[in-house]
Amino acid sequence: MTLPPGLGRELSAILGKDGFFDDPIHRRVYDSDAYPHEHLAPAAVALPRTVEQVQEVVRACRRHDVSFTPRGAGTGLSGGALPLDGGLQIGLARMHRILDIDPFERVARVEAGVVNLDLKKAAARHGLTFAPDPSSESACTLGGNFAGNSGGPHCLKYGVMLPHVLGAKIVTPEGELLELGGRWDPGEGLDLLALLVGSEGTGGIVVELTLRLVPLEPARSTFLAVFETIDDAASAVSRLVARGIVPAALELVDRVMMQAVEEAYGFGFPVDAGAVLLIEIDGPEAAMPVEAQRIEEICRKKGCREFRTARSDTERAQLWKARKHAFGAVGRLSPNYATQDGVVPRAEIPRICEFIYETARRHGVTVGVVLHAGDGNLHPALFYDERDEESVEAAMKASGEIIGACIELGGSPTGEHGVGLEKREFLPLIYGPTEMAAQADIRDALDPTGRCNPGKVLPGEGGEGDRLRVVGRQVSA
Ligand SMILES: Cc1cc2nc3c(=O)[nH]c(=O)nc-3n(C[C@H](O)[C@H](O)[C@H](O)COP(=O)(O)OP(=O)(O)OC[C@H]3O[C@@H](n4cnc5c(N)ncnc54)[C@H](O)[C@@H]3O)c2cc1C
């Protein structure tokens, strides 16, 4: 798609020389996100700095009937920020001011392009934190977190994005400014805020957020429990939860991922173990030893061969680096990998893990698995080489089968990465026609002309951009 004559000039006038780009090099930067597929570049890129600029840009798109797709940091793993029909990309990354932190009310007001970790750092100066912690927290934006209802390891205890959003300002697909909720939301009427959290950029552009902060707990302890088999680790997870223990985080890392991490960072982690559990508890100082003892006992009963406690902040940081940078470490083992994001009921973790390894073996694909085990949310990373068509095909087939199995086991095709482009064909497998029609109606009501992030979330909405490529070859979306 090329922009209609006149729109480029209008957008340049709104955004200034450094806020609008339609040259091939700048556009190329936006032809992908963290979803492992190349895509059509947008026709042009708008990088507004103010709410008014976002409104003016959207209104200009309306006048010229051009579609637009919001983008935060582009760390999304389901292709949500890709402008499918090659329309206008609206990047929010320059709207990155923390507008206000109120330590007494424990509330922050931020622009949508603020990076998640930057808010955490600012809140920490007041003894507070922002709980949702995607592993991409050092890059992803709060607007992207809102759009994806994102979570992270500590969401087992603290919940995903939704309960932490008090209010939002959203530029509607028509260019109006919708102000929802807020610090003292009266809470009357239909809950539009909850409707829009997780709407993946299809209901408008989030420009400002009012967010709940929580106090940093006075104490926390982090443990590494080492198991011979992934089955033992998974059954320890079920037992911990069944015994009423709700750790702040409960993560499982399998042998392949542990080996990748060890090769990358050399922290001295056990590379011969079947799996490890990374367990963190937080709360009052006095509760730590008792809780630690209970957790160790349960893990030992389930076959834990070694139980390490982080003795310092450095050791704790190393444990978390092992988990949060696990996917980065995979780069040493494989030129490419595709991460999946299925969910199963916790009790089904051993079965789905067995299925993942068996499926990968059958397709000749190497797989490494990390799980937000407490939530039954699994992230198998399937290795492939984009220069080798057969390896791409095998990884994509295995990936689809794994998601199919999650659904059959009573789970879902996505836990936190969103539907975006990648998972939209899976939705009718978990919802009936009535639920699908209700979603389509809501979408039409929010965006009657279908210009805002077209082709995402709901199945069957195509665009030129369905010509997705894994470098040089066609794959189905
Ligand atoms: C290494 C790695 C680890 C990850 N770990 C996690 C994890 O633990 N948990 C998790 O939930 N996710 C995780 N993700 C996925 C991703 O980081 C999150 O989905 C994140 O919230 C995306 O934020 P972003 O700013 O990069 O958004 P983008 O990728 O730019 O966009 C994502 C979606 O949000 C929409 N969007 C973005 N900004 C706005 C806005 N201002 N208004 C309206 N719509 C908007 C886009 O249109 C798109 O649909 C991970 C990704 C990577 C690469």
CATH code (residue 150): 3.30.465.10
Task: State if residue 116 touches ligand 1 by the CB under 6 angstroms criterion.
Answer: no
Token pair in block for residue 280: 């963190």
pLDDT at 2: 84
pLDDT at 318: 86
Instruction: Specify whether 310 is located in the same domain as 338.
Output: no
Q: Could you tell me which residues are beta bridge partners of residue 371?
A: 252, 378
Is residue 67 lining ligand 1, measured as CB closer than 6 Å?
no
Question: What is the reported pLDDT for 202?
Answer: 96
Q: pTM of the prediction? A: 0.91
Q: Is the same domain home to 280 and 311?
A: yes
Number of domains the chain is built from: 3
25, 35 in Cβ contact below 8 A?
A: no
Report whether residue 198 contacts ligand 1, using a CB cutoff of 6 Å: no
Atom of ligand 1 nearest to the CA of 453: 47
Q: Are residues 203 and 171 in the same domain?
A: yes
Given the CA of residue 416, which atom of ligand 1 is nearest to it?
A: 11
Task: Write down the pLDDT at residue 208.
Answer: 98
- 316 within domain boundaries: yes
- Residue 33 falls within a domain, yes or no? no
Residue 43 lies in a domain: no
The pLDDT of residue 177 = 98
- Give yes or no for residue 78 CB within 6 A of ligand 1: no
- How many A from CA of 186 to the centre of ligand 1? 29
Domain boundary among 362, 391, 408: 408
Residue 418 within any structural domain of the chain: no
Count of CB atoms situated within 10 Å of the CB of 63: 12
Q: Is 279 in the pocket of ligand 1 (CB under 6 A)?
A: no
Q: Is 420 domain-assigned? A: no
Last residue of a domain, one of 328, 348, 378: 328
- Please tell me whether residues 107 and 200 are part of one structural domain: yes
Q: What backbone phi and psi angles, to 5 degrees, belong to 411?
A: -105, -145
Ligand 1 atom nearest to 69, measured from its CA? 47
Q: How far is it, in rounded angstroms, from Cα 65 to Cα 449? A: 9
- Domain shared by 321 and 341, yes or no: no
The answer to whether position 402 is within a domain reads yes
Statement to judge: residues 135 and 104 lie in one domain:
yes
- Pocket of ligand 1 contains residue 200 by CB under 6 Å: yes
Distance from residue 72's CA to the centre of ligand 1 (Å) = 7
Say if 164 falls within a structural domain.
yes
Question: What is the model's pLDDT at position 461?
Answer: 60
Q: Both 244 and 307 in a single domain?
A: yes
Alpha helices of 302-432 — where are they, by DSSP H?
313-324, 326-329, 349-362, 389-408, 427-430
Shared domain check, 239 and 152? no
Q: Are 121 and 207 contained in the same domain?
A: yes
Do 168 and 185 reside in the same domain of the chain? yes
Ligand 1 atom index nearest CA of 327: 1
CATH number of the domain bearing residue 369: 3.30.70.2740
Shared domain check, 289 and 237 = yes
Flag whether 404 is in a domain.
Answer: yes
CA 338 to ligand 1 centroid distance, Å: 16
- What domain range is 315 assigned to? 219-328
User: Each residue of 177-231: pLDDT tens digit?
Assistant: 999 999 877 678 899 999 999 999 999 999 999 999 999 999 999 999 999 999 9
Identify the pLDDT of residue 322. 80
**Does ligand 1 lie within 6 Å of residue 463's CB atom?**
no
| Residue of the CA atom closest to atom 53 of ligand 1 | 75
Tell me the average confidence (pLDDT) per consecutive run of 10 residues in the chain, 477 residues long: 90 96 92 82 96 98 96 95 93 98 97 98 98 94 97 89 97 97 82 96 97 95 95 92 90 92 86 94 94 96 95 90 83 88 91 95 96 90 93 93 94 90 89 95 95 92 44 30
At which of 192, 215, 238 does a domain end? 215
What's 260's domain CATH number?
3.30.70.2190
Mutation test residue for ligand 1: of 115, 137, 140, the one with most atoms within 8 Å of CB: 140
Predicted pLDDT of residue 466? 40
- Angle ∠(411,416,417) on CA atoms, nearest 5: 110
129, 180: one domain: yes
